[in-house]
Amino acid sequence: MAQLFKHYINGRWETGVTIGVSENPSDLADVVGEFARADANQTEQALRAAADARGAWADSTPQRRFEVLDAIGSELIARKEELGKLLAREEGKTLPEAIAEATRAGMIFKFFAGEALRLRGDRLPSVRPGVDVEVTREPVGVVALIAPWNFPLAIPAWKIAPALAWGNSVVFKPAELVPACAFALAEIIARSGLPAGVFNLVMGSGRMVGQTLVDSPLVDAISFTGSVPVGEGILAAASARRAKVQLEMGGKNPLIVLADADMDQAVECAVQGAYFSTGQRCTASSRLIVEAPVHQAFVDRLRERVRKLKVDHALKRGTEIGPVVDARQLETVRGYIDIGRSEGAELLCGGELIERETRGHYLAPALFLAQPQHRIAREEIFGPVACVLRADDAEHALALANDTPFGLCAGVCTRSLKQASHFKRQLQAGMVMVNLPTAGVDPHVPFGGRKGSSYGPREQGAYAAEFYTTVKTAYTLA
Ligand SMILES: NC(=O)C1=CN([C@@H]2O[C@H](COP(=O)(O)OP(=O)(O)OC[C@H]3O[C@@H](n4cnc5c(N)ncnc54)[C@H](OP(=O)(O)O)[C@@H]3O)[C@@H](O)[C@H]2O)C=CC1
Ligand SMILES: O=C(O)CCC(=O)C(=O)O
């Protein structure tokens, strides 16, 4: 019998109003488990529990918060192999990538355990005699955390850990595609000694559970990672009732290869950034902008490397690219491949469905030669598809890189310190990589973008305090 992944509401495991099924995208015959799905009433129970618990946790000592978060981090790291296997089975990224993600989730909890002890304030002289001014940070209150499927442990970790570190109570809604990972994380959090109601897991559709969270007057702040249209809807609804909002949405991240780049390194950056994790990363390098003198050599070498990528079951040793996460995403990605062809982009390799021992959503990584106006060069695809754009010179490459409604991450491959500095200054993105893939970030520094990619304060690192705390200024006449 399939395992049932339950909600965690007010310190208790609860069955849902209906049941959903989680399947393995590498092997559609393998059911990962069944999961509880909530309706609006059940979601509201979790919200009331979080609202009732907020005082107790907000008043807890930093040492207690440190201990809780540190224990969660330790368990995640100790169980990284087992959790990585579950993640690879449910989401489809390769086992080494999935183990690395479980480790990263643990490191994030440990980082924010330390941050609980490091929360700073200011004490300043007043302009008035005898008066002291203190600026302190307090918890925001009840935070709703709405997460996507592509990093089912790390993204929830980088939302839940800072929320708890700074004394908030949480209602966490994972994506419906990854309930087993959400449940595994919730089980670890449930054992950590938090008061009942401080952390709640509610599963179910975005339209039902997500929208109930977004519309609830009990929610003080919403942190969301996912698509642009859903993010925009959340912003409109939350702003109307003045809830705090943080959105991390799409990207169309450029990787620029200048003529002086180390070609081996540039090809490796492109392959890792564009295709690893099946290209299902908001930081994926989906636009490869190459300076004219090395364009042909780069394209030839990249095509050879992409053709040889091993696409197979996520748990199989040696697999480099796992399946696409589900049938709907596969259809979206294949739709873009058709659009690319019909608009006149040249498909250099890949793009076809592949059969393996098990029936899964396998797609050969696709590489296009495109023009800047092609939709595949402008819209986020979120799959193993990249396009190469030719630039006349370095300034043209920079202009092409910035010609996008997005601004999450950008990369440049060059041996020139001068060019590296110039591109770091001029690229319109929240994160810039030099001689590194655009995807794959550290857990302790800010994460987020500009333009259409993000909204609100940054996630991760000490900067996350801007979102998860609110500032108070106190005046005292001694
Ligand atoms: N920036 C990123 O890291 C990500 C970007 N994307 C982009 O989004 C595209 C579609 O992916 P998809 O999974 O459908 O992304 P969505 O934006 O639909 O989903 C992200 C999260 O939001 C939830 N959600 C959906 N609708 C609402 C709503 N009305 N109110 C509140 N929450 C809601 C989802 O729930 P549920 O799915 O459970 O119904 C999920 O938990 C991808 O192709 C990619 O371009 C996707 C994932 C991550
Ligand atoms: O590239 C990374 O390490 C993180 C990417 C990410 O957060 C995302 O795709 O949503």
- Domains of the chain: residue spans and CATH: 4-249+453-477 (3.40.605.10), 254-434 (3.40.309.10)
Q: What is the pTM of this model?
A: 0.98
* Mean confidence (pLDDT) of the chain: 98
Residue 85 has a pLDDT of 98
Span 328-358, pLDDT tens digits: 999 999 999 999 999 999 999 999 999 999 9
Residue 415 has a pLDDT of 98
Mean pLDDT confidence for 125-145: 97
Q: Atom 10 in ligand 2: which residue has the minimum CA distance?
A: 282
Evaluate whether 205 touches 14 at the Cβ level (below 8 Å): no
Token output for 192: 């950590």
Asked whether the predicted pLDDT for residue 18 surpasses 90, the reply is yes
Q: Atom 4 in ligand 2: which residue has the minimum CA distance?
A: 440
For residue 442, give the nearest of 174, 117, 119, 111 by alpha carbon: 111
Residue 346 has a pLDDT of 98
Mean pLDDT confidence for 368-377: 98
Span 214-249, pLDDT tens digits: 999 999 999 999 999 999 999 999 999 999 999 999
Mean pLDDT confidence for 119-129: 94
**C-alpha to C-alpha distances, 463 to 112, 136, 298, 447, nearest whole angstrom:** 11, 15, 38, 9
Find the residues whose C-beta lies inside 6 A of ligand 2: 150-151, 155, 225, 281-283, 439-441
Question: Rounded to the nearest whole angstrom, what is the distance from the C-alpha of residue 295 to the centroid of ligand 2?
Answer: 28
Span 392-416, pLDDT tens digits: 999 999 999 999 999 999 999 999 9
Residue 41 has a pLDDT of 98
CB of 382 shorter than 6 A to ligand 1: yes
For residue 349, give the nearest of 367, 334, 363, 333 by alpha carbon: 367
Phi, psi at 140, each rounded to 5°: -75, -35
Question: Rounded to the nearest whole angstrom, what is the distance from the C-alpha of residue 17 to the centroid of ligand 1?
Answer: 22
Span 68-106, pLDDT tens digits: 999 999 999 999 999 999 999 999 999 999 999 999 999
For residue 432, give the nearest of 409, 450, 448 by alpha carbon: 409
For residue 255, give the nearest of 289, 295, 229 by alpha carbon: 289
Span 192-219, pLDDT tens digits: 999 999 999 999 999 999 999 999 999 9
CA angle centred on 261, ends 256 and 262, rounded to 5°: 125
Residue written as tokens 């200048």?
Answer: 258
* 395 catalytic per annotation: no
Instruction: State the SS3 of 293-362.
Output: HHHHHHHHHHHHHHHCCCECCCCCCCCCECCCCCHHHHHHHHHHHHHHHHCCCEEEECCCECCCCCCCCC
CB of 211 shorter than 6 A to ligand 1: yes
Question: Rounded to the nearest whole angstrom, what is the distance from the C-alpha of residue 15 to the centroid of ligand 2?
Answer: 31
Evaluate whether 408 touches 446 at the Cβ level (below 8 Å): no
CB of 175 shorter than 6 A to ligand 1: yes
Token output for 342: 């019909």
Mean pLDDT confidence for 1-27: 96
From 18, 47, 90, 146, give the residue whose CB has the most ligand 1 atoms within 8 Å, as the site to mutate: 146
CB of 282 shorter than 6 A to ligand 1: yes
Residue 11 has a pLDDT of 98
Asked whether the predicted pLDDT for residue 478 surpasses 90, the reply is no
Mean pLDDT confidence for 162-169: 98
For residue 356, give the nearest of 97, 31, 26 by alpha carbon: 26
Q: What is the ipTM of this complex?
A: 0.97
- For residue 207, the ligand closest to its alpha carbon is 1
Question: Rounded to the nearest whole angstrom, what is the distance from the C-alpha of residue 150 to the centroid of ligand 2?
Answer: 8
For residue 442, give the nearest of 87, 158, 116 by alpha carbon: 158
Choice among 23, 34, 90, 248 that is catalytic: 248
% pLDDT > 90, the chain: 99
User: Which atom of ligand 2 has the smallest separation from the CA of 440?
Assistant: 3
Give the integer Cα–Cα distance in Å for 227 and 274. 18
Residue 277 has a pLDDT of 98
User: Which atom of ligand 2 has the smallest separation from the CA of 104?
Assistant: 3
Asked whether the predicted pLDDT for residue 359 surpasses 90, the reply is yes
Span 417-463, pLDDT tens digits: 999 999 999 999 999 999 999 999 999 999 999 999 999 999 999 99
Question: Rounded to the nearest whole angstrom, what is the distance from the C-alpha of residue 461 to the centroid of ligand 2?
Answer: 15
- For residue 406, the ligand closest to its alpha carbon is 1
Evaluate whether 377 touches 400 at the Cβ level (below 8 Å): no
Question: Rounded to the nearest whole angstrom, what is the distance from the C-alpha of residue 59 to the centroid of ligand 1?
Answer: 34
Asked whether the predicted pLDDT for residue 1 surpasses 80, the reply is no
CB of 210 shorter than 6 A to ligand 1: yes
What SS3 class is residue 411?
strand
From 145, 155, 277, 278, give the residue whose CB has the most ligand 2 atoms within 8 Å, as the site to mutate: 155
Token output for 215: 């519309």
Give the integer Cα–Cα distance in Å for 54 and 20. 30
Q: Atom 3 in ligand 2: which residue has the minimum CA distance?
A: 440
Q: Which residues are CB-contacts of 265 (< 8 A; sequence separation ≥ 6)?
A: 413, 435
Give the integer Cα–Cα distance in Å for 115 and 151. 23
